Amino acid sequence: MAHASHIFSYKTLGLALGALLVLTGVTVGASYIDLGWINVWIALVIASTKAGLVLVVFMHIKSAGKGVVVSFLSTVCFLAIMIGFIFWDVAFR
Amino acid sequence: METAASFYETPEPARFSGIWSWLFTLDHKRIGLMYLYAILFWFLLAVFLGGVLRLELMFPGETVLSAQLYNSAFTLHGVVMIFLFIIPALPAVFGNFFLPIHIGADDVYFPRLNLLSWYLYMAGGAIAVFSLFSGGFADTGWTFYVPFSISTNTNVSTAVFAAFVLGFSSMLTGLNFITTVHKMRDRAMGWLQIPLFTWSLYATAWVQLLATPVVTITLVLVMIERFFNVGLFDPARGGDPILYQHLFWMYSHPAVYIMILPGMGVISEIIPVFARKSIFGYKAIVGSSLAIAIAGSLVWAHHMYTSGMSDTAVFVFSLLTFVVAIPSAIKVFSWVATLYKGAIEMTPPLFFSLCFIYLFSVGGLTGLVLGAAGANIHVHDTHFVVAHFHFTMFGGTGFAFFAALHYWWPKMFGRMYDFKKAYIAAILVTGGFMFHYVPMFVLGLQGMPRRYYDYLPQYAQGNFFAGFGALFMILGIGLMVANLMASFARHRDAGSDPWGGVTLEWTIPSPPPVHNFVRPPEIMAYPYDFSGVTDRSAQRPKGE
Amino acid sequence: MAEKPDQTGKKLGMWLFLYTEIILFGGLFVLYAVYFSWYTPDFILGAKQLDLGFGLANTVILLVSSFLVAASITAVQKNQRPFALTALAGALVCGAVFLVNKYVEWGHKIEIGIFPGSEKLLDGPAPQNLFFGLYYVVTGLHGIHIVIGMVLLGVSFVLVLCRKITAQDDAVLDNCGLYWHLVDLIWIFIFPLFYLVV
């Protein structure tokens, strides 16, 4: 038998859902406070936190092994570089 | 001599027979061969198209094609060569056939997904053919740049959709290979005991997996723009056409590493065998393969220096492009160092490999000319570029494909081919290649643009000369293919190890049995230990 | 074919596939990032015209549906088949409601003349055309993935019903769940970038 050695209880899942809903509220609330260009980054940080919760709790990424965790983060890194490197162009025209 | 029924006699799943035992097969070796037959067809078709293009260019003015047809012809030549031949050839044919054997497995991890990849490949090809007959094949070049790809009346959507489907085939093959290498290696085989061809396929598979989705979304956007006129790349509506180029090359540059990495893997297999010497710098080759895969994904905008992007971007991408040349050079040094003081035995696979090393090096060095932002302004979109990528893609991957064919032919089909004819073919192809493409470097430096149907009188001589080179090259290819086909007139008596190889495929019968191994494979501590081979006075069939 | 030695490969394969989906949507986020940085005021104006209520509702719906899918896997592991089926059915209902919301939302916009190639967008400020163009492409592609996800959940439902998915053999449910969670993950980023840039 080769799957998750640890199954998340309903309680853990429920707590994660609760946290996600709270964070959703936070991000909506934050959008009402005008901090200029920082708003986008706040929104992205909150979204990334929510994503992290989904990944760790709902998707149980740790049970898939270190290889998956590393390659997932690398994929996200690759996406970040894709977007970031384009700004060498678009930010300097 | 072990006898076992070969995989030709034993279908997998067993309940099928005849053609169905091929169309519904789950055997990676049969899938590899089905790819081979299709790929050879596409290759020869695209060679023919190339021949027609160069015939047109041999003389000024209209020769055999109208201007419109010329544009569609070079688009089709590019689309077929890139998406239907070069990208899949080595992974889908030789990767499928040999990767499981190299790691001591009996198949890939997802055999049904493997078959699906083949069907997606065939479907993509069929869609490309269909688009020939419905509204004029796309005339945009294989790069489908906006705004022309959105506004032109030719059947861009179908052509782009074909590439979209083919992308899935490539992506799923990459997924399959990564999983196979991680999960199906023989227990005794650690990461640093994996043969270099498998390593190269592993590095390639990551690029196939992560880069292909970029072109998928890019092509979807072209279709969406053609149908719904959203305006995401339309300057009149706030869009930026250069963003299309960024998205396109974000895949298409890594794609050239998908093309070359397996080719380098093949050369890394062949050189040690015919130098009777362990590969020089195994770890360096592994590291450089991964470095090429990673660094090669960061340099895409070197195709765009003159597009209008910022000077900062030009500088950054030019710098990174020079960096990516370093791991490639490491490989060339390793191959040459392997040959040094080796006991060389000349065979057709080695001959093609030596040609590869030379041609790819020339291609790579001319890439530095293109990668340097200043020089690029003079040669961008000229025949210099055309020559450069033919040296790397054809002289590189193409020749590696020929080398792989000649190396693994006796294993796949149990038959050896005639050596002399193979050498003649190789010399014709290589010589023809040089006479065909070197003039293009000169023409490009003199300013002849690419994708031009006609040209100024001063370019006539170079084009005429290049046309002759094409003739010899095509003759050589024809002889090569005919020679390989002629081997089928012989008995299946190549023996399990005609070359003196040390990777696992040479320990099993030729052709292999359906589950690959007759007895459990013996994994060596180091994959290129030739001491056993040099000790044996092996009876190998030499070429007649 | 010999028995596959290691069943964990199925999960690895699914994660690898998810990476391709991340990059697929990533291409669209590339476009968004560039145009947002160039035309921030117009994007803000565009976002104000989107209905936050629908966006928020859809966000909550997808989060709940992810919870239900994860719960169904726990249920299968605990051999609580009826609850697993209920949870999966619930997730499917969530998906359906999401699509209905999307349909209504799009319908509103189309009614007032905001759709790709519409005169209002052609005549209006160019960057607003980009905002709504991206909105339709991104949410449209996402919607297609919701449909695919629902099909996968439906298949899982049937397999749990027929006892083909059990505590010992739940790879299919696991993998379908992963796909659904990914669709939720993408929406987690779509929501703030389109609805909250006000």
Higher pLDDT, B478 or B12: B478
B203 pLDDT above the threshold of 70: yes
CB burial string B406-434: b at 16+ within 10 A, e below: bbbbbbbbbbbbbbebbbbbbebbbebbb
Output the six-digit token pair for B281.
């710098």
- Interacting residues of B306 by C-beta distance below 8 A, sequence separation 6+: B376, B377, B380, B381
Measured between CA atoms, the residue of chain C closest to residue A27 is C192
CATH class, domain B20-530, is mainly alpha
Q: A90 to chain B: which residues are within 8 Å by CB?
A: 240, 243, 310
pLDDT over 70 for what percent of chain B? Answer: 98
CA distance B115 to B107: 12
Q: Report pLDDT digits (tens) over B276-322.
A: 999 999 999 999 999 999 999 999 999 999 999 999 999 999 999 99
Binary contact (B311, A91; C-beta < 8 A)? no
**Average pLDDT of every residue of chain B:** 93
User: Cβ of A45 under 8 Å from any chain C Cβ?
Assistant: no
Query: Which B residues 329-358 touch A at CB under 8 Å?
Result: none
B533 pLDDT above the threshold of 80: no
Binary contact (A58, C181; C-beta < 8 A)? yes
Question: How many Cα atoms within 13 Å fall on the side-chain side of residue C80?
Answer: 13
B500 pLDDT above the threshold of 70: yes
Q: A72 to chain C: which residues are within 8 Å by CB?
A: 15, 19
pLDDT score recorded for residue B3: 55
**Substitution target from B180, B209, B210, B247 for chain A, most A beta carbons within 10 A:** B210
**Substitution target from A70, A79, A89, A93 for chain B, most B beta carbons within 10 A:** A89
pLDDT score recorded for residue C2: 47
Compute how many other C-beta atoms are within 10 angstroms of the C-beta atom of residue B9.
10
Alpha-helical runs (H) found in B276-347: 282-295, 311-339
Asked whether B52 and B535 are in contact (CB, 8 A), the reply is no
pLDDT score recorded for residue B145: 95
Binary contact (B298, A81; C-beta < 8 A)? yes
Residue at A3 is within a domain: no
Residue at A1 is within a domain: no
Asked whether C135 and C110 are in contact (CB, 8 A), the reply is no
Higher pLDDT, A87 or C124: A87
Query: Which B residues 70-89 touch A at CB under 8 Å?
Result: none
Asked whether B138 and B156 are in contact (CB, 8 A), the reply is yes
Q: C184 to chain A: which residues are within 8 Å by CB?
A: 54, 58
Which of C6, C15, C189 faces A72 most closely, judged by CB atoms?
Answer: C15
User: Cβ of C137 under 8 Å from any chain A Cβ?
Assistant: no
Average pLDDT over residues C95-118: 94
Compute how many other C-beta atoms are within 10 angstroms of the C-beta atom of residue C33.
19
Asked whether B170 and B86 are in contact (CB, 8 A), the reply is no
pLDDT score recorded for residue A2: 41
Predicted confidence band of residue B133 (pLDDT cuts 50, 70, 90): confident
Which of C8, C16, C137 faces B178 most closely, judged by CB atoms?
Answer: C16
B440 pLDDT above the threshold of 80: yes
| Residue B331 CA from chain centroid, whole number | 17
- Both A74 and A50 in one domain: the answer is no
Higher pLDDT, B235 or B544: B235
Q: For residue C57, what is the domain's CATH number? A: 1.20.120.80
Q: B134-138, B185-189, B436-440: lowest mean pLDDT where?
A: B134-138
- Both A45 and A82 in one domain: the answer is no
CA distance C37 to A89: 12
- How many domains are there within chain C? 1
Task: Name all chains with 3 or more CB-CB pairs below 8 Å to chain C.
Answer: A, B
B137 phi, psi to nearest 5 deg:
-65, 150
Binary contact (B109, C31; C-beta < 8 A)? no
Alpha-carbon distances of C163 from A8, B19, B120, C71, C77, rounded to whole Å? 22, 36, 32, 17, 13
Query: Which A residues 9-38 touch C at CB under 8 Å?
Result: 9-10, 13-14, 16-17, 20-21, 24, 27-28, 30-32, 37
CA distance A29 to A40: 13
> Taking the domains of chain B in order of start, what are their residue ranges?
20-530
CA distance C19 to C7: 20
Average pLDDT over residues B12-22: 90
B1 pLDDT above the threshold of 50: no
pLDDT score recorded for residue B530: 85
pLDDT score recorded for residue B541: 52
Binary contact (B310, A88; C-beta < 8 A)? yes
- Both A78 and A93 in one domain: the answer is yes
Q: Which domain holds residue A73?
A: 63-93
Asked if the ipTM is above 0.90, the reply is: yes
Predicted confidence band of residue C156 (pLDDT cuts 50, 70, 90): very high
**Substitution target from C25, C185, C190, C194 for chain A, most A beta carbons within 10 A:** C185
Using N-to-C axis directions, what is the helix angle for B311-339 and B282-295, rounded to 10°? 160
- Interacting residues of B485 by C-beta distance below 8 A, sequence separation 6+: none
Quick check: helix, strand or coil at residue B137?
A: strand
Q: B231-240, B397-406, B413-422, C178-187: lowest mean pLDDT where?
A: B231-240
CA distance C167 to C160: 10
Query: What is this structure's pTM?
Result: 0.95
CA distance B256 to C57: 45
User: Cβ of C196 under 8 Å from any chain A Cβ?
Assistant: yes
CA distance A1 to C7: 8
A1 pLDDT above the threshold of 50: no
Average pLDDT over residues A50-74: 95
CA distance B524 to B437: 43
B382 phi, psi to nearest 5 deg:
-110, 180
Closest among B519, B30, B112, B191 to C4, alpha carbons compared: B112
B232 phi, psi to nearest 5 deg:
-65, -20
pLDDT score recorded for residue A7: 85
Residue type, B540: R
Determine the length of chain C: 198
Q: Terminus-to-terminus CA distance in chain C, angstroms?
A: 58
Q: Which domain holds residue C111?
A: 10-195
Q: Report pLDDT digits (tens) over B339-375.
A: 999 999 999 999 999 999 999 999 999 999 999 999 9
Q: A68 to chain B: which residues are within 8 Å by CB?
A: none
Closest among B378, B353, B328, B362 to B437, alpha carbons compared: B362
User: Cβ of B210 under 8 Å from any chain A Cβ?
Assistant: yes
